[in-house]
Amino acid sequence: MVYIFQQALNALQLGSIYALIALGYTMVYGILTMINFAHGDLFMIGAFFCFLIAVYLHLSFVPTLLLSMLGVAFLGVIIERLAYKPLRNAPRVSAIITALGVGLFLENFTLALSPYPQHIPPLLENTTWTLGTLSISSLQILVIVLSLVLMLLLDFIVQRTKAGMAMRAISWDKTIVPLMGVPVNKIISLTFAIGTGLGGSAGMMYGLAYPVIDPYMGIMVGWKAFISAVIGGIGNIRGAMIGGFILGAVEIMVAAFFPSTYRDFVAFTLLLILLIVRPYGILGKPQPQKV
């Protein structure tokens, strides 16, 4: 029983990181019907920003979090402007190839500057409470609570504010939104800023939970988050959150009961099965093809 509770806690921690990253994929897809394959690498940049700020500026946890989120958000907006915007009316494949290229650029740029893995200094005093055989760390609680707060904030922005209303409208019909007096480019920039900023915050939390960071850390985590977004129904924000927690839970459960090398194999199998049974994801809606 205690064992299961312990694993559930681990699942929540991993799941909330996947969910935060998955939101970036799903938001960009919702608004531009494009997969930003550089998103996993922006997650990695978030961890590196956190490292740089913590090591060179010696800031504490909250300013480090805010600065690395802002930095990644800014980078996300620049990438959209320079790399994706010129391709907005090009075939989707061109934009996706460009995104893969941007991802490779970010990895190799970081590799050039930091060829060796880095250690993020502990920004918080990590206390571990032990209840019998159950151990809960303050970091674990922090990651889960912070992710939930960020997700609630996002949900509020999307459902309750004018910018969120504009995002939802753009995801249904991009061409007529400007005719409602909405500056579409600004909303797209904002979407990128929020999506990549959340990815950056996930990078920092991941870096604190598993303190060794390297330029390739975003690849596998990025794929997993992408799977989460697809499981939840890509383009659907609440779906991405649910998908992240499902994948986190599946991975932890597999690692708990089987050899841990089965983990990724099971994660990708789950994606394949889901794509066969429910190609539009858990909260996604089937798009009937009109003939």
Closest CB to other proteins among residues 136, 169: 169
- With a CB cutoff of 8 Å and minimum separation 6, the contacts of 78 are none
Residue (66 or 253) nearer to other proteins, CB: 66
Report whether 206 contacts 44 (CB < 8 A).
no
Segment near other proteins (CB under 8 A); pick from 115-123, 143-151, 162-170, 243-251: 162-170
Of 169, 209, 266, 270, the one binding other proteins (CB under 8 A) is 169
Task: Give which of 125, 200, 141 is closest to 10, Cα–Cα.
Answer: 141
Instruction: Give the distance from CA 31 to its chain's centroid.
Output: 16
Of 148 and 256, CB closest to other proteins: 148
Residue from 161, 265, 269, 273 that binds other proteins (CB under 8 A)?
161
Contact 47, 217 (CB under 8 A): yes
The region of 68-76, 103-111, 173-181, 212-220 touching other proteins under the rule CB under 8 A is: 173-181
Dump the DSSP string for 14-68: HHHHHHHHHHHHHHHHHHHS---TTHHHHHHHHHHHHHHIIIII---HHHHHHHH
Among 168, 209, 214, 219, binds other proteins (CB under 8 A): 168
Interacting stretch for other proteins, rule CB under 8 A, among 103-111, 114-122, 164-172, 224-232? Answer: 164-172
> Which residues 176-235 are close enough to bind other proteins by CB under 8 A?
176-184
Q: Which helix H or strand E contains 176, and what residues bound it?
A: none
Binding site for other proteins (CB under 8 A): 153, 156-157, 160-163, 165-166, 168-169, 172-173, 175-184
